[in-house]
A = this chain, B = another copy of it.
């Protein structure tokens, strides 16, 4: 059994941002060099998401607008008594989820035609990490 662990570092320009990380994930999966396997892709910070959806910038904007409606940025969260101002980020990340498990078949990600792996940042402009852990044989 092969295990391969790597980390993607992101440092977004904006507080809120969505980006397609499929190319980075594919590079790591290729290094693991397994025919069958699973790749866990998981945000290591609790104000960010990893999810699978469409690579379409209009939809990315729709998602951010929608999440702002569901979990608005505002001052009166109890979490802010700690000095933080990012409670909305903790909630938004819960909606999209923080990790995915990607199947690997015949040496490559076994995804549908439009499936792309994305990272969503809700409290950016700082160094964050995503773990990509591959197991297979």
Contacts and interface: CB of A to CB of B under 8 A. Distances in A.
Given A58-B77, A137-B1, A91 B111 contact: no
Contacts of A61: 78
A13 interface: no
Interface residues of A, number: 55
Contact of A105 (B5, B80, B90, B115): B5
A46 interface: yes
A101 B100 CA distance: 9
Copies in the complex: 3
A78 B66 CA distance: 11
B46 A52 contact: yes
B59 A53 contact: no
A89 B44 CA distance: 28
B44 A115 contact: yes
Contacts of A91: 62-63, 66
Given A42-B103, A82-B56, A103-B133, A5 B77 contact: no
B115 A133 contact: no
Contact of A87 (B5, B59, B95): B59
Nearest to A106: B5
Given A5-B110, A133-B110, A40 B103 contact: yes
B38 A112 contact: no
